[in-house]
Structure 1
């Protein structure tokens, strides 16, 4: 079986002798069709520090494919197209294992395999947005970070009536930011925006992660009785935050990352189908899986024309 194995930062071996997995209780095996790189994958590719580093197929988790075999108790039939998150993020393989609890049978035939990968990040955003008021009419929202998660969050909250400002130094096409519901794009860092003392946000979404600074900036940018929604994935277990600001402004800090997937995948697919014209704009690059190192390097460099990078399961190219 074909599979990739990370042997060093941004360096993969292409194996042709990897053993094919067999599903255990509650599991299915899936033939990979497409996978989408996520920002949370990047620390795992930049370093081999993760305990799973070097295991076959690591690291990817936004995967769509077709059922090969399944524990009969799952009710999954061979050939069914699924969005299925790999066990231990080991999806860079011709066939991988997934738990039923992290699997969704894709119902919409008109979605391409690449488009269907968006169901997982949309589910993450819908779950986070569910922690806020359903009606955000006229509420001032600032989103820090206009990568795929930040843009998806802007899309969801603007359609609940929020007036959304996005902060990100990367150039974005005005047509793109308008499509995702932003009324303003501040082309600067969050730290620089803080120094300009803007009108306080009622809700500030931290969608950058991987360092502490932007969470501190989010608290500073949020007004009295406001809410900070922290969605950026941390690279370290402990953060230092301006607690006195949070306390004296009576702010609410909400963390959100991993939903109970089965409760949100269906809603996410429906949301994707309703807004496919806009959300499909996130898919900007397609790279053969055998050139995964180049794909991860591409994702690692912020660029005006780069959002989601899709790996296609073409194992014949090398």
Structure 2
């Protein structure tokens, strides 16, 4: 593997104020197709994490952004049964695609709780809005907020 290089974070919403908290050295305000379209071969990464989820195109862009012999990690919940990807690009660049689901949810939730307790500043930055499930207006507000690109919104929770 190459030495660590600056880690870009690509988002069409301005997330500059959150970049350092999440380990992003190079915040890029662009759509993933525009970003990967101008990415030089020397700037392709050994490890690319696609954490948008729910989008066929962003997985393809992550594959395009990966250097020869690199690995793409795909996180999120797939909305579609099948995601078409370029097997030619995967094979010619000797890429690895890794994904999966949490099998032992109880253990993982316990580990996540411990991690969150040890890093309260991260959780406070990541979970930006909480709405009460008992209040229908709150639930509607959560949906409306999630539907708009807002720089101050990262993740939303609906709690009891």
Q: TM-score range by the shorter chain?
A: 0.7 to 0.9
* Alignment size in residue pairs: 155
- Superposed CA offset, 1:215-251 (max 9, x none): 1111110011100101132111011101111101111
Which whole-Å CA distance do the structure 2 matches of 1:309 and 1:239 have between them? 26
SS of the residue 1:182 aligns to:
coil
User: Is 1:309 aligned with 2:152?
Assistant: no
Deviations 1:147-182 (A, max 9, x none): xxxxxxxxxxxxxxxx421111111143x2111111
Report the Cα offset of residue 297 of structure 1: 1.6
For 1:191, the equivalent position in structure 2 comes to: 33
Q: TM-score, normalised by structure 2?
A: 0.86
Give the alignment partner of residue 293 of structure 1, picking from 119, 140, 157.
140
Give the 4+ runs in structure 1 shifted more than 6 A.
Answer: none
Max radius of gyration: which structure? 1
- Per-residue CA deviation, residues 244-293 of structure 1 (Å, 9 max, x unaligned), is 11101111011123231133223222211221112211232233332212
CA 1:172–1:312 in 2, change beyond 3 Å: closer, same or farther? same
- Please, what is the CA RMSD of the aligned residues? 2.0
> Which stretches in structure 1 are left out of the alignment for 5+ residues?
1-135, 141-162, 314-318
Structure holding more strand per residue: 1
| More divergent stretch after superposition (269-278 vs 185-194) | 269-278
Q: Provide the residue aligned with 1:235 in structure 2.
A: 79
TM superposition score normalised by structure 1 = 0.46
Structure 1 counterpart SS, 2:19: helix
Q: Is the 8 A contact 2:16 2:27 kept in 1?
A: no
The yes-or-no answer on 1:220 pairing with 2:64 is yes
